[in-house]
Amino acid sequence: MNNHPFHLVDKSPWPLMSSVGLMTLTSGTIMWFNKLNWTLMITGLIIILLTMFQWWRDIIRESTFQGMHTKKVMQSMKWGMIMFIMSEVMFFSSFFWAFFHSSLSPSMEIGLQWPPLGIKTFNPMNIPMLNTMILLSSGVSMTWAHNSILNNNYTQTMKSMMITTILGLYFSLLQLYEYMESPFSIADSIYGSTFFMGTGFHGIHVIIGTTFIIIIMIRVKNLHMSNMHHIGFELSAWYWHFVDVVWLFLYITMYWWGS
């Protein structure tokens, strides 16, 4: 018997496999950009997806069926998520720093003006405004889902999580359409670089968050969550609200003020 409430995880191959998958995906993306060769990138993506599936399977098993996630473990998971979100704040801060550094003091190379000479920006009242309303609405539906699970109302939890998922997918499709219709590219001066790096990485976070919520929705359907024990749900909600807040900053700075 253990004389402590902490869960010491078993030896797992998944951290190593995910590292291999990420390295393969990164190298493959570079190959795709430079030589239009998809093979290595698709291989890396498959490794990551398989690793995600099996790692999630193990965590679901140890939390739901083996009872490893005690109150102390859940508390440490919450602190881990807080630290992760703080690191993400620093990550996005670097893009905002680059954007403001160039926009507040435009250099001679970009025509001493912002947006740079020749850049036709997006109208912030069109798709960007619609996407803002979509993400704000998804934040409301996620809060509705949280209140529903606290009240043991699983029907409303499933409905509200389904709404959140649909809104997340809708956001991603609209952003894809916006990118396809964009009058400038990532290669068009510092404006294009900061715009696509900031909004592109946010788009990836929306896809990750939507996937996270879909997995939690499947677990709620299989009665893996209760009003007292729903740490996975809570962390997915935190992550989704973080994604919402980052989009508000992106919209205000890059779409509205920066254009």
**Same domain, yes or no, for 168 and 230?**
yes
| Number of separate domains in the chain | 2
Q: Are 41 and 203 in contact (CB under 8 A)?
A: no
Distance CA 173, CA 157 (A): 24
Question: In terms of domains, do 211 and 119 share one?
Answer: yes
Q: Looking at the structure, do residues 107 and 212 belong to the same domain, yes or no? A: yes
pLDDT surpassing 90 at residue 29 = yes
With contact defined as beta carbons under 8 Å apart, do 145 and 133 qualify?
A: no
> Which pLDDT belongs to residue 2?
63
Domain final residue, candidates 34, 51, 68 = 68
pTM: 0.90
Q: Of 198, 189, 195, whose CA–CA distance to 117 is shortest? A: 189
114 shares a domain with 73: yes
Let me know whether 116 and 162 are in one domain.
yes
Same domain, 45 and 158: no
Cβ pair 140, 241 in contact under 8 A: no
Q: What is the pLDDT of residue 25?
A: 95
Q: Which domain holds residue 33?
A: 1-68
Mean predicted lDDT score pLDDT of the chain: 92
pLDDT digits (tens, 9 = 90+) for 60-114: 888 888 878 888 888 999 999 999 999 999 999 999 999 999 999 888 888 888 8
The CATH number of the domain holding residue 112 is: 1.20.120.80
- Structure confidence by residue, pLDDT tens digits, 232-244: 999 999 999 999 9
Q: 112 with 195, same domain?
A: yes
- Tell me, yes or no, whether 149 and 243 share the same domain: yes
pLDDT digits (tens, 9 = 90+) for 181-212: 999 999 888 999 999 999 999 999 999 999 99
Give the pLDDT confidence score for residue 124 in this predicted structure. 92
